Amino acid sequence: MCSSDLEGVADSLMTTYVARVRAPATVMPRIEALGGPASKLVALGDPSLVDRVLPEVQRLLEGRCEVLRSLPFHVDIVPPGITKATAIERLAPTLGIAGWDEIMAFGDADNDLTMLSRAAVGIAVGHATDAVRAVASEHVAPAGLGPAQILDRLL
């Protein structure tokens, strides 16, 4: 694949990412070009490439960053301890929630693992990854009213 093809893939993936998160983003050709601190780095690539390099990136950054896959082509690199679970821990008291035994969480990707494993009820939705299915206490169908049906049943 020539570099112009890679640029096209990156642009397509970045367009999808920006539309999904509705946040400003700056494309950096290399991490060295960043030149300062960042609250989040997003690495985008072909899912087969992500499959191959993600374990090594996680190993290299272990203890220094959270490296979390949220889509087949999308990896977030954030400061240590920044996960959906830590966000819930900060938000819960402001909502009058005493702890994880009062929380039900839904997720489908590996960036949901800590949240799902700590929640009283962790629910794997849609086409959840194998790791998410393994930690979830409940599962819903990939299509239809799965989350609504499980809420009716559990509540």
Give the Å distances, CA to CA, from 11 to 4, 21, 24, 26, 57: 10, 15, 14, 11, 22
pLDDT grade, residue 52 (50/70/90)? Answer: very high
What local confidence, expressed as pLDDT, does residue 116 receive? 97
Q: What is the pLDDT of residues 66-116, one digit of tens each?
A: 898 888 888 989 888 889 999 999 999 999 999 999 999 999 999 999 999
pLDDT grade, residue 16 (50/70/90)? Answer: confident
C-alpha 29/C-alpha 11 separation (Å) is 11
Give the Å distances, CA to CA, from 56 to 12, 50, 59, 130: 25, 10, 5, 19
What local confidence, expressed as pLDDT, does residue 6 receive? 39
pTM: 0.74
pLDDT grade, residue 137 (50/70/90)? Answer: very high
Mean pLDDT of 121-133: 92
Task: Please check the confidence at residue 32 and state whether its pLDDT lies above 60.
Answer: yes
What local confidence, expressed as pLDDT, does residue 112 receive? 95
